[in-house]
Every structure is written in structure tokens, then in C-alpha cells.
Structure 1
Amino acid sequence: MAGTHSTDKAPAVPTPLRRNLILAVLCLALVAVVGMMASVMVAVPDIAADLGAAEGQLLWIVNAYGITFAGLLLVAGALGDRLGRKAILIAGLLLFAISSAVVVAVDDIGMIIAMRAVAGVGAAAVMPMTLSIITRVFPAGERGRAVGIWSGVTVGGALVGLLTAGALLEIFSWRSIFVFNVVLTGFTLIATVIVPGEGGDGRERVDVGGGLLSMLSVASLVFGMIEGPERGWGSAGIIAAFGLAAVTAAVFVGWELRHPRPLLDPRLFRHGRLASGAVIITSESLAMFGLFFVGLQYLQVIKGYSPFLAALAMMPLAIAAVVFSPVVPKLHTKLGYQSVVVSGMAMIGAGLLVMTTLDADSGYWPIAAGVFLLGAGIAFAATPATEAIMAALPEEKHGVASALNDVTRELGAVLGIALMGSIFSSIYRDRVGAAASQLPPEQARAVGESVTAGVRLGSAPEAPSGLMTGVFDSFQAGMSTALLAGVVVVAAGTAVGHVTGRTRRK
């Protein structure tokens, strides 16, 4: 691989107690940045009511964070390797806290969107540093357990964000979510005093061209996937976004192949385990966030759960991930990469299949079983996949490896929401048309565009006969089809991951 090696001296290994305290601090930082994306989704209705935000503005309040987060992960990973990981971690936490504090104080929607984008920049600096510091602090014999805990927190962090936001919204305004993030980040900043510092090789120049190309490619792809269902997949803007993503990705590959010190050498993907890990993580992240998108709507709109109860209903996923992630490394050592990963992906597929059986009359136990299987499967699949990616690169490149791992997670999340969300919306709209045909045209259009509107109009005393049943049946058809699409993607990802994972780097 092109590039020079760091001149850092090997750091002294901290004591076991300090290692675990460092792990706890880094997991707190991870919870803050991962939970932010999920928590704001819960607060969207309150933000709309308070600020009078239009639908397009609300979309950008949610998505500005994810675009900069995903788009800058590789750049942040490289900066951490070259300038020092602790320094980049602290800078990211500061950006994250300051931007959240500004949101608390302003009413201007444009400023809020801008601060959400700034928070995404901070999150991009934080997330890869957490994993790269963990892999440097923990010796080889303990690294698998630490990475397992990190993987569990990555999965559980989104649910922690949902649960915390739901609880806060029961009592306070939507701004309380950002106040909580400021407090959590401030505490984490203070606690970073125990994280060992390390000097990066400041003489190394960061691959700025590669960084800009990767950011533009990822940001264009994320933009296209997020905006596609809203603007139409065939619209000029979405086609242009995907075209730009493809062109800049191709230019990025060519640039990196010729650069003497590449940000990410494409030849690394000859390493079968690295390629397999990237595919597996993308697939499992797609399944989880796609389920969040349709599952939270099902719980809140169809079942009538509050935001807090909907988040609580998803907790078996986090429990399974946290319980199984630390023990997976032992199974990985005993049974091998392929057996553990394939078993995990099978659990994910089974969990999605259980969820396809849900309807308006379903009890909670099928929900709990489905999300528990999903969480267990993610623990079994993601932990070995993450270790495979990290092990493919030398220690001085662990920041880039961590960022690559995180990029696959974020892209999987975006793809899951876009793919499964668009399938769900299309099926629901097509199926509910007949039931809504008895309504005036404006109301019929509202029912077709929004399940919430369908439930509201269907529950009115003057509602046409069969409207509510039609809305519920259409929702169930859309959700089942979307989840089945998730099963297909998980199966395809398993097959590709299995084949590439069997190859060895030449």
C-alpha cells in the first residue's frame, strides 16, 4: 500500500482499569453522535409546530447532519492518523457541542440547518477516532472484546437516542434534546483527560484531493438516496446527484491509485476479509435503519404508541446487541469468521421475516421477537466484520480503517431508509387509493401521501365505511413488502460477503 509509516513510538499500554475507563468515555462519545440522528427524527413534529417549518425544511433539518457525517468520515480518519487521534476527537466534540448549543438559542430555520451540518462535521471527527483509539489502547488479546462492546454501543446508540428523546419530549420542548447533547458532550470532553494523547506525524500531508473527491462522492450519493423518494427517482436533480456520485467515485479511484500517499488505496479491497466486512456491515445497517423507518411508523401511527413507548418497544434490539457483542469474539475464535457472520445474517433475515407478519391487531411479543433476532444477528455479523476491516490495515492506518467501517454503516443506513422507505410508500399509495376514493380529492390525496392523515381521517365519525381498514391493510402490505426487500438485500449481502471472505490477499 502506498504511503509512509507513522513515526510514533509504540504507546505504553494503560492499566486494565484505565483501559476500561477509556472505553467507557469513548462509548459515551459514540452514543452522543450516533444517537443524535435518531433523536431528531422523534422531535420533527414538535419542531414543525414550534417553528412553522415546511416539509422540505424539516427534511433538511434531519438530513444535513447525515450528509456531512457520512461525507467527511474518511477525511477525519486520515487527519486523526496524521495529526493525532485525541486532538481530532476533542475538536469533533467541541464542534458537536457548540453547534448543538446554537440550535438551542436560535429560531431561524436556515441557521438550524447550518448548525446541523456543523454537528455532522463534528460527528465525523468523533466516530472514527473512538474505534481507532480503542484498537491502539487495548492489547491484541483484549481487542476483540473491546471492539465487540464498541459494536454493541454503535447499534444501541441509535435506540438510546430514540428513548432519551421520547422521554424528554414527554416533559419538555424539542430544544431539550439539544440541551441534553450539550451536557453529555461537555461531560465527555472533561472525561477525555484520561484518554492517552499521541502525536501524529505532522510532516505528512493529508491527501486533500482524495478527501474532497470522497466527500463529494459520498455526499452526492447520500443526497440522491435521501431526496429520491421525495423528488422522484427520475427527476433531473436526483439523476444529476447519482451521476455526480458515480463520476467522482471513479475519479477518486483513479486519483488514489496514482497518489503516492493515498487517503484510501483501492487495492486494499483485494483483501477478501476487508471487502467482506464492508459488505456485511452495509447490509446489516441497511436492515436495521430500514426497520426503524417503517417499524417506528407502525408503532406510533398504527399501534398508537407514544414516541417514548415506541423507542422502548425497540429495546430488545439493543439488549440483544449489547449482550451478545462481547461474547461473539470467543465464538469467532472457535468457529471461524464465516460461520459466525453467516449465522448472524441469518438471524437478521429471520427477524425481518417475523416483522412481516405484523398487522394492526398484533400483540407486542412478535415485535419483541423480531427486533431481538435483529439485534442478536447484528452482534454476530458486525463484530467479526469490524475486526476484519481493522485487521486489514496496519496500526498507523487504523483511523482510515475505522472511518471506512463507519462510512459503510452510514451508507447502509441511508440506503435502508431510501430503499425500504420508497418501497413502503409506493405500495401503500397504490393500495390505499381504492379505500380513499370516496373522499374529496384533496383528502384522498392526503391519505395517499401520509399514513398519519389516513388514520386521522379514517377515525373521524363521518369517515367512509372501510377507510380505516383500507389504511391499515395498505400499511401492512407496504411494510411487509419493504421488509421482504430487506431480507433479499441481507441474503445478497451474505452471499457476497461469504464469497469475498473466503479469498485471501495476494
Structure 2
Amino acid sequence: MTSTEPAPTGQATTAQRWVLALTAVGSFMVILDMLVVATALTAIQRDLHASMADLEWTVNAYTLSFAVLLMTAAGLGDRYGRRQMFTIGLALFSLASVACALAPNVGALVAARAVQGIGAAAVMPLALGLLNAAFPPERRGWALGIFGSVTGLAAALGPIIGGSLTQGLAWQWIFWLNVPVGIVAIPLVFKHIPESRGPAASLDIPGLLLFTPAAVGLVWALVRSDAAGWGSAEVLGALGAGVVLTAAFLRREAVARAPMLPLRLFRSRAFSAGNTIIFLLNATMTGAIFFMTQYQQVALGHGPLAAGLRLLPWGLPPLLLATRSGALADKLGEKPLVLGGMLLQAVGMGWIAIIATGDAPYWQFLVPMALGGVGFTFAIPAVTKAVISSGAREDIGKASGAYSTMRQLGGAFGVAVLSASFSARGSYLSPDDFSKGVRVAFAVAGGMALAGAATAWALPGRRPAPAPTVTPAGAPEPTRTR
């Protein structure tokens, strides 16, 4: 096992760096696979003779199983070991990637994508749980800055990697890419990441049985809203069932001895406001990437690889500002970074809403996309730290699960709402018609970012560290930062 001896002040130990590197690799694979498929859908349709509904479920099967099982995976990790469940998630994700690459028909591909989502649900919250267990609060922002920025980089690079592999090799390679990463990462996880668990308690089976169908109902309504329509019986029924089951789940958690989601966490302004912010932040960014990729191809006539490359202004800020943004969260507190980041997001999205015409030159998008990328880079580690550090150490796993769930629900919500906004004014009939819809969609994205900025005011300000107390023996006790 790697040494856990403390490093000099301000530095991470070798063990901590291994935890950061391996959890970031896991998160990169998971988020990359959410978007890498986008630029390969046309090739998949051609090779597997898929319908539009088939292509929709190629994306939705992954989103659905991913989002609904995050809380369950976090609870299992607390009970049976976070490292163990994280490793199982990596293995399942890698095996499902093989099944995706070898899929002989679209039905097999959709089924394999659903299994990929199950593996992803085990990776993401447990990566956060392992990371937060490894780093003390005063260094958590730095670590989460790198972790969150790697995740943002995966979101920006997904369409680029998908386009280049599909155009240069074949669409199957977007899935083969995961296999060697998993093969290398799994033994390193066992060697370099120590096991950690939540408090010893029985698994909340009734809570699990209520939460899973509740999440299925809510996510089903979101992913089907564009195709079936918000007023359809399918969407309204799924949404209603999800809301009712969510209420039943919360009622159960209020009386459970070992709740899956302790309601005491919501007494923290950082936890409640932070989960709302990550929902809106991910809704904004996921919806924007979804439409910008299509806008570059449908309205401006670029190919899959060229369209993906044009998203780099969103991807470069996380790469360049990763450690600085996280360190600033440690130094300045979360509130100013989240507020400033969400405002930059709002400005960037609103700017794009003004200039996205059917013949707009690409250079006009460089500044607003860069502003959005910088805003995301500053906000994501700060809001992650605010949520995960809001409770006691034994609640890290549950807080990570709730945070990851809200993040994924936000992504599905963003695509659904921006799609509905697009459909109200635009269509695929011509570049101009598509551009009209895109402008409305980005205006809505800007509004969601503004709502996130308003919510950031509810985050607690940075509290000064208390003066060190003195023990009876006269030795000063370590100062606590939270």
C-alpha cells in the first residue's frame, strides 16, 4: 500500500495523488461516454439500420440507468466498501463497452448501453466518496478542482473523440477505447486506493425500493419529453409517478433508522443550495453542448470531427485552470467562485443566443464559449466542495450520491427543456430555421445559469477559522476549518 504519511504543508501525499488520478480517470471515462456517442449516431444508424427511436434509446438507455442508480450505488459503497464498489463499476463499465463494440444489432447495443450506465452509476459517486475521504477539508477544493475540471474536459472532448474515431476508424472504436483504460486502472485501484466505508448500519432496503422507481419515473419523463411531448400520457404519467414516489421516499427517510439519504443534510444551506446549483449548471452545459454540436453540422455545414473541434473553447479552460480554480475555492470560499462562474455562464449563453445565425463565422463564438468554459471551471469544484463538505465525515458517501444524482438529473433536464424551447421556434428544415430554434434554446440556457447565480447567494460565506484552543496539558489543538 502507498504510504499515507503526511506531506509538507500545502502538498498532497503520494497516496492522495493516486486517489485523485484514479478517481479522475474513472469519472473521465463515464462522462466521456455520455457524449462520445453524439457524433457517431449517423454511422450507427447506417451500419445497424436503426430508426430514429433506436438512436434515441442508444443515448437514453445509458442516461436512464446511470441517473437512477447513483444513490443506490453510494449506499452500497458505504455498506460494502467504496473501493470495492468503484472497482466493480469500472469492471462492469469495461465489459459493457466490449458488448457495445460487438453489438450485432441495435437492440443489443441499447441493452449494452444500459449495462454501461449501471457501471457508470457505481463509478461516479464512489469516486467522489473516495476522493473526499482521502483529502481533508482544507485541501478538498484543490483536489475537486482537478477532478471536476477533468470531468468538464471529458464533456468537451466527447464529441471530438467520437467524431475523430468514427470518421477515421469506425464507430465501434468509441467503445473499444474504454477497455484498455479499465484493464490498467483496476489493478492500480486495488494497489493504491485504501478501502473506506460509511458508518456501520443496515442497508435501507425500503428506501432503495422507493427511490429507484421514483428516479426512473422522473428521468423517463425527461428523456421522453421531446419525442412524446410534455402533454402526452406517457410523460405526464411517468412524471406524476416519479413525484408521488419521491414524496413517499422522503417520508420513509424521515423515520428510517439508517436512511439512504439523511434529511438532516438539507438543513445545511451549502447542501441544499449546492445541489440546486449543480442541477442548473449541468442542465446549462449539457444542453448547450448537445445543441452546439448539432448547430455546427446542421446550420453551418461542418462534419462530425470539425464540429467536435469547434467545442474546444469550452474544453480548454478546464485543462488550463484546473488546479487554480480548486485552490481558489480553498482560499476564498465557495460562494464567490460559484456566483462568478454562473454569471460568466449566463453571459456566454446569452451572447451565443444573439449571434447564432445560419451563416455566423466561427470566430464570433470564441469569446462567449470561452467565458462559459471559464465559468464552468470556477463553479464546478467550488459547488462540489460546498455540497460534499457540508455534513459530517460519515455522510460523505450519501452526500456524494445525492450530488451525483442531481447532476445527472440536471443534464437530462437541460436537454429536455432546451429541446422543447428549440421546437417552439425552430426546425431541421433549413439552416435558418435551425438557427432560430438554437437562439431560443441558448436564451433559455442563459436563464438557467442566471437562476444558478441567484441560488449561489444562499451559499454560506467563508467562515474564519476559530482560534486554536488549548488542552489541559498546554498543547494547542489543531484548528478546524469547518
Q: Sort the Cα spacing of 1:12 and 1:247 in 2 relative to 1 into closer, same or farther, 3 A.
A: farther
2:250 counterpart letter in structure 1: V
Q: Is the 8 A contact 1:100 1:115 kept in 2?
A: yes
The residue number in structure 2 matching 1:403 is 401
Q: Is the 8 A contact 2:89 2:118 kept in 1?
A: yes
Query: Pairwise mapping of residues 11-90 of structure 1 onto structure 2 (< 5 A)?
Result: 16-90=13-87
Q: Is the 8 A contact 1:29 1:126 kept in 2?
A: yes
Q: Distance in 2 between matches of 1:503 and 1:138?
A: 19
Q: Distance in 2 between matches of 1:203 and 1:275?
A: 25
Look up the SS of the partner of 2:60 in the other structure. Answer: helix
Q: Distance in 2 between matches of 1:299 and 1:17?
A: 43
Equivalent position to 2:239, from 239, 242, 250: 242
The residue number in structure 1 matching 2:91 is 94
Query: Pairwise mapping of residues 474-493 of structure 1 onto structure 2 (< 5 A)?
Result: 474-493=433-452
1:265 matches 2:262: yes
Look up the SS of the partner of 1:170 in the other structure. Answer: helix
Q: Is the 8 A contact 1:90 1:189 kept in 2?
A: yes
Look up the SS of the partner of 1:106 in the other structure. Answer: coil
Q: Distance in 2 between matches of 1:342 and 1:421?
A: 26
1:405 counterpart letter in structure 2: Y
1:501 CA displacement? 4.4
Q: Is the 8 A contact 2:39 2:159 kept in 1?
A: yes
Query: Pairwise mapping of residues 262-411 of structure 1 onto structure 2 (< 5 A)?
Result: 262-356=259-353, 357-411=355-409
Q: Distance in 2 between matches of 1:272 and 1:115?
A: 39
Q: Is the 8 A contact 1:284 1:412 kept in 2?
A: yes
1:160 CA displacement? 2.6
Deviations 1:312-349 (A, max 9, x none): 11112121123334222443355443322211111000
Deviations 1:428-451 (A, max 9, x none): 14xxxxxxxxxxxxxxxxxxxxx2
Equivalent position to 2:108, from 83, 106, 111: 111
Query: Pairwise mapping of residues 49-198 of structure 1 onto structure 2 (< 5 A)?
Result: 49-198=46-195
Q: Distance in 2 between matches of 1:353 and 1:100?
A: 37
1:408 CA displacement? 1.6
1:482 counterpart letter in structure 2: A
CA RMSD of superposed structures (Å): 2.1
Q: Sort the Cα spacing of 1:116 and 1:279 in 2 relative to 1 into closer, same or farther, 3 A.
A: same
Q: Sort the Cα spacing of 1:329 and 1:46 in 2 relative to 1 into closer, same or farther, 3 A.
A: closer
Look up the SS of the partner of 2:344 in the other structure. Answer: helix
1:205 CA displacement? 1.8
Q: Distance in 2 between matches of 1:344 and 1:320?
A: 12
Look up the SS of the partner of 2:37 in the other structure. Answer: helix
Q: Distance in 1 between matches of 2:157 and 2:446?
A: 25
1:179 CA displacement? 0.9
Give structure 1 stretches of 5+ with no counterpart. 1-10, 430-450, 455-470
1:202 CA displacement? 9.4
1:368 counterpart letter in structure 2: L
Q: Distance in 2 between matches of 1:186 and 1:384?
A: 32
My pick for the range that moved more, 70-79 or 402-411, is 402-411
Q: Distance in 2 between matches of 1:482 and 1:140?
A: 38
Q: Distance in 2 between matches of 1:24 and 1:164?
A: 21
1:199 CA displacement? 5.5
Q: Sort the Cα spacing of 1:60 and 1:12 in 2 relative to 1 into closer, same or farther, 3 A.
A: farther
Q: Matched residues, percent identical? A: 31
1:141 CA displacement? 3.6
2:28 counterpart letter in structure 1: V
Q: Distance in 1 between matches of 2:325 and 2:291?
A: 29
My pick for the range that moved more, 279-288 or 328-337, is 328-337
The residue number in structure 2 matching 1:445 is none
Q: Sort the Cα spacing of 1:136 and 1:291 in 2 relative to 1 into closer, same or farther, 3 A.
A: same
Q: Distance in 2 between matches of 1:229 and 1:91?
A: 34
Equivalent position to 1:424, from 422, 425, 438: 422
Count how many residue pairs are aligned between Structure 1 and Structure 2: 455
Q: Distance in 2 between matches of 1:128 and 1:366?
A: 38
The residue number in structure 1 matching 2:214 is 217
Q: Distance in 2 between matches of 1:377 and 1:346?
A: 7
Q: TM-score of the superposition, structure 1-length normalised?
A: 0.85
Look up the SS of the partner of 1:326 in the other structure. Answer: helix
Deviations 1:433-487 (A, max 9, x none): xxxxxxxxxxxxxxxxxx2xx3xxxxxxxxxxxxxxxx23322221111111111
Look up the SS of the partner of 2:168 in the other structure. Answer: coil
Deviations 1:362-403 (A, max 9, x none): 222222212211111112222211111111122222122112
1:326 counterpart letter in structure 2: T
1:411 counterpart letter in structure 2: L
Q: TM-score of the superposition, structure 2-length normalised?
A: 0.90
2:407 counterpart letter in structure 1: R
Q: Is the 8 A contact 2:97 2:178 kept in 1?
A: yes
